[in-house]
Amino acid sequence: MDQLHSGGTGGSLIVNAIARYGDRPAIADGSIRWSYRELGEAIGRFITLFRDCGLAKGSALSILSSNRAESWAAICAATVMGMRYTPLHPMAAEDDHAFIIEDAEIDALIVEGGKFAARGEAIRARVPGLKHLLSFGAVNGARDLLDGFAAVQPAPLVDDSATSEIAWLAYTGGTTGRSKGVMIPHRALTTMAVILYSDWDWPAEIRYLAATPISHAAGVTVYPVMMRGGFTRLVQGFEVESYCRVVAEDRITAVFLVPTLIYALIDAAEVRVRHDLSSLDMIVYGAAPMSPDRLREGIKIFGNIFVQLYGQTEAPQCITTMRKVDHDDSKPGRLGSCGRPSPLLDVRLFDSEMREVGPGEPGEICVRGTLVMDGYWKRPEATADAFRGGWLHTGDVAVKDADGYLYIVDRTKDMIISGGFNIYPREVEDALMAHHAVASAAVIGVPDDKWGEAVKAFVVLKPGANNDAAELQAHVKDKRGAPWSPKTIDFVDAIPVTGLGKIDRKVLRAPYWEGRTRGVA
């Protein structure tokens, strides 16, 4: 009976898409352009190469690469084989990458030659348990998977994954300063794909452009594209002119962008007139707060083609959806909503005693359903806390209106969402206080027209120190990565604390958030 309800895996999704769509265009990255048949052959070759390395069902793979077709094929190969895949954000710092590789017990790491060669070598030196360093292109001491790739015999695509097994072990920041591994089983991955497939306003012909890293939200969005036999175009980062050129040349119909990049498109009027963007039929946004005023500008320019997602790693991509029709500016405040709960999920707002709140009353967004993670990797206490009362606690507080739309107003957690990056204050505070001149520090997110939220730090220097903000910003960038570096630093005599001696972030935030009702999109 255990096998009666098996199936429905990420592996079966991939295998079926390859079989169904054959010679239809599947994926391109500027250097490679593959049909579904050719993508399937590449996936088969990676399976052969992985097996040759001794990797098998249950092994753990991680990839550090820019957006490229080979990277997606390798991810698909791991999924079909029943391996556990852990993404690495290309902009994160070496310390974070090394911690994740060690904590996730990664067997094999693939790094892109050139851009990430030095990082791969550094991680190998720091993590003795890493068995294989592999590469896309030449890297000192690594096996180059692309050397002779075309001659490798593709393995048959047979799904060896199981519904209950971990498909992605994706890391999210933590208030302790270290990331937590979120166990996303195939059950959650396929639930996400089905919800995105059914609840977003996809164009009839899907030609999807991914500019943000496919290691994160832009990547998991490829699954529903494959389910529909659509085409995915990968680009390495976002630059307005080249992005618009790709939209025009490949007649792109669907994109995913964080608000900061949408603002860049809105503000680039001279660039937009040079390129035909009329093919765009769906712009998905999320992962960061978006100004309703700027959203109105976008709708005026591109039409009512916007779709908003709200989710988190623990319930990926689609806790709520704000469809095109929901972007109704005739409804006061509606553009500040994150939409309605998605199909297949039970989403409710609870107070601190787990009592459901009524319309207009604030409550924490809590979720049940097959989308929800299995828990945090090797962190049973954190898992128990997240699942208290039998619900996933998102840490986001919202109100619901009479029509069932949710409006996120605050957070029980202190996470800052800046330009689509999830940044925890403790991570930045720890980096600041690692500087020899810093006595104490506190970090908050403040409203920012470009980034949604900007990281702001308050620093108390040690007696006699006179270090400036630029030095501390560079220090944090080196320790954690550019997104974590504070945009502004105020030097103060003392950090406000609560009666329990904890940083009083409420006092620090108040001057910046006064009169604002939306904390996150």
Give mean pLDDT in consecutive 10-residue pieces for the chain, a chain of 521 residues: 77 98 97 98 98 98 97 98 95 91 98 96 97 97 97 98 96 68 97 96 97 86 97 94 98 91 88 97 83 86 96 94 95 90 96 94 94 98 96 92 87 78 80 86 90 93 91 94 94 76 79 66 35
Same structural domain, 382 and 485:
no
Domain boundary at 335, 360, 395, which? Answer: 395
The tally of CA atoms less than 13 A away on the side-chain side of residue 233 is 20
User: What CATH number does the domain containing 67 carry?
Assistant: 3.40.50.12780
Same structural domain, 180 and 271:
yes
In-domain check, residue 178: yes
Domain boundary at 366, 395, 424, which? Answer: 395
Domain boundary at 346, 363, 395, which? Answer: 395
Same structural domain, 181 and 227:
yes
What is the reported pLDDT for 2? 64
Same structural domain, 457 and 375:
no
Same structural domain, 240 and 283:
yes
User: What CATH number does the domain containing 421 carry?
Assistant: 3.30.300.30
- The answer for residues whose C-beta is within 8 angstroms of residue 492's C-beta and 6 or more apart is 458, 459, 460
**In what side-by-side order are the strands of the sheet with 84-87?**
143-144, 132-136, 108-112, 60-64, 84-87, 166-172, 180-185, 375-376
Residues making up the chain, counted from first to last: 521
Same structural domain, 61 and 105:
yes
Cα–Cα distances in Å, from 487 out to 42, 442, 445, 447?
A: 42, 14, 10, 12
In-domain check, residue 318: yes
What is the reported pLDDT for 48? 98
Same structural domain, 313 and 227:
yes
Give the residue among 452, 437, 428, 348 at the shortest CA–CA distance from 396. 348
In-domain check, residue 236: yes
In-domain check, residue 410: no
Same structural domain, 248 and 350:
yes
Judged by DSSP in three states, 485 sits in coil
In-domain check, residue 405: no
The C-alpha atoms of residue 198 and residue 343 are separated, in whole angstroms, by 9
What are 306's two structure tokens? 């916007």
Same structural domain, 385 and 428:
no
Q: Strands, DSSP E only, in 240-391?
A: 254-257, 282-285, 306-312, 315-322, 340-341, 345-350, 363-369, 375-376
In-domain check, residue 434: yes
Judged by DSSP in three states, 226 sits in helix
What is the reported pLDDT for 289? 59
Total structural domains within the chain: 2
Same structural domain, 424 and 389:
no
Q: Give the residue numbers spanning the domain of 446.
A: 416-513
Same structural domain, 302 and 212:
yes
Tens of pLDDT along 461-516? 988 999 999 999 999 999 899 999 999 999 999 888 764 456 788 889 889 988 77
In-domain check, residue 408: no
Same structural domain, 367 and 448:
no
Tens of pLDDT along 25-35? 999 999 999 99
**DSSP assignments along 60-116, one per residue:** EEEEE--S-HHHHHHHHHHHHHT-EEEE--TTS-HHHHHHHHHHTT-SEEEEETTTT
In-domain check, residue 443: yes
What is the reported pLDDT for 177? 53
Judged by DSSP in three states, 249 sits in helix
